[in-house]
Structure 1
Amino acid sequence: MITLEPTEGPGPRAGLLDTIRARRADIEAYVRRTAPVSRRLSTVSIASSAVVAGLTAGPALGGPTFAERVQQGLSLDASQTVWQVLCLGALVVSMTAAVSAHLEKTSDLKSRVGAAQAAGAMLAGLQARLEYGGLAVEEAAQDYQNILAGVSFVPEGQRDTTSSSGRREFHLAGQLPVVAVAAALLAVTLVGLIRGVAAA
C-alpha cells in the first residue's frame, strides 16, 4: 500500500498552504452562518404569504356572512371587530413578507452561499494538488487568486465574529413571532367560524 506524504517544506509552499487553509476556514464559517439565514428568509417569506392569503380569504369570499359567523362563534360585540383584526393582521404579515423577500433578493444569499461552497471545494482540490501533486507554487498561487476572485464578499479572519449575515439573523428573529402571532390569529378565526356555523 502506497502512502502519500505531503511535499511541502519550509518556505513559499508551506506559507501558501497555510493561507489556503485559513481561507477555507473563513469560507466554511461564512457558509455555516449564511446558509441558515437564507433558508429562514425563504421560509418566513413563504409562510407570511400563506398566512396573508388565509387571513384575507374569509372576508373576500364570505363577505358579511363570514364576519357575522366569526363574531357569533367568538362572542364578539360587533362583526366590524373581525374585519379590523383580520385586516390589521394581514397588513402586518404582508409587511413581514415584503421585508423578508427584499432582504433575500438584495443580499443574494443563495447565490453567494453556492459560490462560497464551490470556492471551498476548489480550494480543497488546490490544497491537495499543492501538497501531494507537486504543483508549482507559482501556478498554485495564480489558481488561488482566480478562485478568490469569485468570493470577495467572504470576510477574512472573522471566523468567530458576527458578520452582516449574523445581523440579518438577529433582525429575522423579530419577524418570526409576527408570523406565529398571525398564524394563531388565523387559527382563532377558523375556530370562531366553525363555532358560528355550528350555532347557526
Structure 2
Amino acid sequence: MLHILFLFSLILSSSSISNAADFCVADLMAAEGPAGFPCKAAAKVTADDFVYTALAKSGNTTNIISAAVSPAFVAQFPGVNGLGISIARLDLAPGGVIPFHTHPGASELLLCLHGHILAGFVSSANKVYIKKVGKGEIMVFPQGLLHFQVNAGKNSATAFVSFSSPDPGLQILDYALFGNDLPSKLVETVTFLDDAQVKKLKGVLGGTG
C-alpha cells in the first residue's frame, strides 16, 4: 500500500511540474547555457512573445549569393525556447543560391511557397540526393548533413524552412574554408586548390592569411 501511495505521489508531482512548464519564453537578457536560455518570468510573458511578424517581409537578396535567409530562431523569436522547433524564410532572386551548409543541431524541412528550388544533400557515405521542388512541395534534410538550395527558375523563389530545434546552428562550408584567417597554404593542402584560387576566394569571402 505504501508503494502504491509513493508511486501516486510521484505521478502527481511530475504532473504538476509538467503543468507548470507549459512553455519557457527565453530571457534574452540572461546568458545562454547548454540547455538554452533561462525562462522569462511568467508574470512578464505576454501574447506578443508567441508571435513573430518579421517573416512576412521578403529578405534583401542584393548580395553575393542573390539570396536571403530570415531566421526565426530563439534569438529572434524567444517564444520557441525549449519547444524543439524554429523556422526561417528563404528568398532567392534569379540565380540565387544558399551555399553548402550544415545545421549541427537540427533536421530541416523545406516548403516551397512559389518558384522552383533545386535542393539537395550529401550523406555521410557521399551519396548525393537532389530534387527540384515547386510550389507546395517539401523536402527534408537530415541533421548535420551538408545541403544546399538553388533557384531553379527564371523568377524569384520563396520557401519556409522549419527546424527540429529552437537553435539549429549553422556552418557555411565556403566561409569555413575561405572566410577566416586559416592560412592559405593550409587551405590549399586540404582542398587541393591552387594558390590563386584560394586567394581569390578569400578575397571574395573576406578571409585573410
Please give the range of the TM-score, normalised by the shorter of the 2 chains.
under 0.3
Higher relative strand content: 2
Which structure: larger Rg? 1
Give TM-score scaled by structure 2 length.
0.21
Q: TM-score, normalised by structure 1?
A: 0.21
Greater helix share, structure number = 1
